Amino acid sequence: MTSSGKFFFAEDGDPATAPGGKDGVEVGTATWDPNAGTLTNVTISIDTNGEWGLSDSFGTITASVTADDLGLVFGDSSGTGLGTRIVDPATVVPTVTDGAVQGTLNTPLTPFPMSATYAASFSLSGGPAWLSIDSSTGVITGTPTGAGFFPVMVTATNRFGASGSGTFNLTVASVTAVGGGSSVPVAPEVPLDTPPLQMTFDSVQTGGSATVAVVDPESAPELPANFQIAVAEGGTPLYYDISTTATFSGSVTLCFSYAGVNLGGDTPRLLHYDGAAGQWVDITTSVDSTTQTLCGATTSFSPFAIAKSPTPFVTVSGFYAPVSPLAGFVNSAKAGSTVPLKFEVFVNGVEKTETSGLGFAVTPVACTLSPEDPVDYVTQDSTNLRYDTEKGQFILNWKTPKTVGCFIARVSGANGPLLSATFKLK
C-alpha cells in the first residue's frame, strides 16, 4: 500500500490445481485506520485474480501492523492471516535502549520493560540466575538473592534473525550494619571490574542500604582547574552518586579502587561537590598506589568524582616526639640547642626516602600566650636532614638560633608546606 491509499494485491496460483490459474492482481484504493485496524472504502480498478483478494472479502477487512513493525495481521470474517513486511533486512536490525534499575536484596524488582526496535524476541546473557526476561515482551523481572552490580546484556532479535544488544545495569545494594562504626562494601563495583566501593561509617544510628550509581557527566558540575575527570577502561567518566538510607553521624570514609583507570601519570583524587559552597572539594585522604585504592572522607553525599591531577598527592606524618606539631602548642627549647624534627612523607601513598625536594625554613613570629611543651631532648648537632632507614623516618636536626623568641619551623615539599611547628626559644 502507498501513502495515498493505493494498493496492489497479487495472488499466485497453485500449479498443482490450477496452473497459472489464480495468478493475478488487484489494484485499487482503500482507507486504512491504524487505530481501528481496518481497511474501508475499498475500490477496485483492476481485478485479474478471479474470486480471490480484497474484491471478494467477507465483512470488514482488518489490517494491523504488529508491535515489531515487521508483521501484519489481516483478515475478514472468514479468517485471519499473517504477513511480513518486505524490507531490506539491514535497515531493521534491532536497536536496544539501555536500561538501569536499582534493586534491593530479597525484594522483587519492579518489572522493567526493555525497549527495542523491530524486536520479535528478547534474551539475557551474563546476568544472575534469578534474573529473567520475558522473551516476547522484553520485561525484566527477578528477586535479587545477592548484592552487586550486574551489567546484563539484553539481546533483541527480529523476525528475520538479526539481533542487536544493549545493556541492562542492575544494581543490588547490600545492607549496612546497624550500630556503631561499620565498614560496608557497597555495590556496584566502581569502576567496573574493580573491588566495590568501601564505605566506612564513623557511627551508624539506623541501618539501611547504600547505593552508588554512575552520574551522567553532562549533569556534573565542572571540575576545578588542575583536575580532570578520570575515565574507566570502558570510557565511562567516573562521576558517582552515592546515597544511603542509613542515618549516621561523623564522617564516612569512601575508598575506591582505581585499578584499570588510566591516569596518564597523574595522581587520583576523590572530589566531593559541596553544593552549599558551589564548588568541588578535594576530600582525598589517602592514595595507595600499591593496592590502587583512593580514599576520601565526607560528611555528606553526592556527587563525587574520581579525578586526576598532575600534582602528586603528598601526605605527611609527624612531627614525632619530642616535638609536637599540634596547633596551639608551643614547643619550648633552649636557644642554640639542636632540636630533632622527625617526620614521614608519602607521595602517592609511597613513603619518600630521598631528601631531595624537601625544604626547611624558620620564620620568627610574635610570641603569644600558649601552652608550652618542652622539647624533651635536644642535641648540639648542626642543622642537617637525613632519612633514618632504621627508624623509617626523616630526621631533621635543627640548630636553633641563639636568639630568644618565637619561631615557626616549616618543612616544605615541592608544592608547598608539609609540616610546621611553633617554637619558643628561651
Partner 1 sequence: MPNGTVKSATKVGSTIYAVGTWVNTGAANRTDAVLWTIDGANPPAQTALPDFCTTGNAGCTQSLGLAAEAITPDAAYIASGARSLGNNSTGNGPTAVRVARSPLANLNLTPLPTFTTANNPKFARTISNDGSIIYGQVGLDLGGGVFRNRAVRFDANTGAVTQLFPQPANDGAGFSNLQAIVPRGASADGSVAVGSTFTSGPLVDSRAFRYVHGTGTSLIPLLAGGTFNAAFAISGNGNIVALNGDTTAFPDSTREFYTFTASAPAGSQISRLGLPNSGMAPTGGGGITNDGAVVVANSVGSCGPTPCNPDRYTYFHNSHGWFNLTQALWRGGAPLDGWRNLQSLGMNGEGTLVWGSALHWNGSGFVPEAFVAEFPANYLRDFNPQPGPVTDTRIVGAWAVNDNGISDPANPDGVIAFMADGTFYLLGDSFERGFYSFNGSCVAFTTLVDTNGSQGLSDDDGKCNPISIAGDTLTTPDGEQLQRITGQPGSLVGAWVHGDPT
| Contact residues: partner 1, CB under 8 A | 1-4, 6, 8-10, 12-13, 15, 18-25, 27, 32, 34, 46, 48-50, 63, 65, 69, 72, 81-90, 117, 159-161
Q: CB of residue 35 vs partner 1: minimum separation in angstroms?
A: 11
Cell of 240: 558517582
Task: Give the shortest CB-27-to-partner 1 separation in angstroms.
Answer: 7
46/350 with CB nearer partner 1: 46
Query: Running DSSP on this structure, what letter comes out for residue 380?
Result: -
By beta-carbon proximity to partner 1, the closer residue of 38 and 167 is 38
CB of 41 to partner 1, least distance (A): 14
CB nearer partner 1, residue 53 or residue 142: 53
Q: Cα–Cα distance between 362 and 271 in angstroms, integer?
A: 33
Q: Which is nearer to partner 1, 22 or 334 (CB)?
A: 22
Q: What is the DSSP string of 148-162?
A: EEEEEEEEEE-TTS-
Edge-to-edge strands, sheet with 148-157? 99-104, 163-173, 148-157, 121-125
Work out how close the CB of 133 gets to partner 1 at its nearest, in angstroms, rounded to a whole number: 23
Rounded Cα distance, 254 and 270, in Å: 9
Q: Give 93 or 229: the residue with its C-beta nearer to partner 1.
A: 93
Q: Which is nearer to partner 1, 120 or 323 (CB)?
A: 120
Task: Give 26's strand partners.
Answer: 9, 47
Instruction: Give me the least distance between CB of 117 and partner 1, in Å please.
Output: 8
| Rounded Cα gap, residues 213 and 191, in angstroms | 10
140 Cβ contact list (under 8 Å, min separation 6): 99, 101, 109, 111, 112, 113, 114, 124, 131, 132, 133, 134, 154, 168
| Dihedral sign from CA coordinates of 269, 273, 278, 284 | negative
Cβ closer to partner 1: 33 or 233?
Answer: 33
Least distance in angstroms from the C-beta of 97 to partner 1: 15
What are the CA-CA distances from residue 153 to residues 129, 145, 183 (Å)?
A: 13, 19, 31
24 versus 151: smaller Cβ distance to partner 1: 24
Question: Of 159 and 334, which CB lies nearer to partner 1 in the complex structure?
Answer: 159
Least distance to partner 1, CB of residue 163, Å: 15
C-alpha span between 106 and 276 (Å, rounded): 37
Provide, rounded to whole angstroms, the least separation between the CB of residue 112 and partner 1. Answer: 23
359-394 burial code (b ≥16 CB/10 A, e <16): eeeeeeeeeeeeeebebeebeeeeeeeebeeeeebb
Give me the least distance between CB of 139 and partner 1, in Å please.
21
- Look at the block and give the residue holding cell 610574635: 366
Rounded Cα–Cα distance for residues 41 and 61 (Å): 10
- Of 85 and 410, which CB lies nearer to partner 1 in the complex structure? 85
- Integer CA distances (angstroms), 258 to 224, 235, 287, 294, 303, in order: 20, 14, 10, 7, 17
- Least separation in angstroms between residue 122's CB and partner 1 is 19
Written as one letter, the residue type at 354 is E
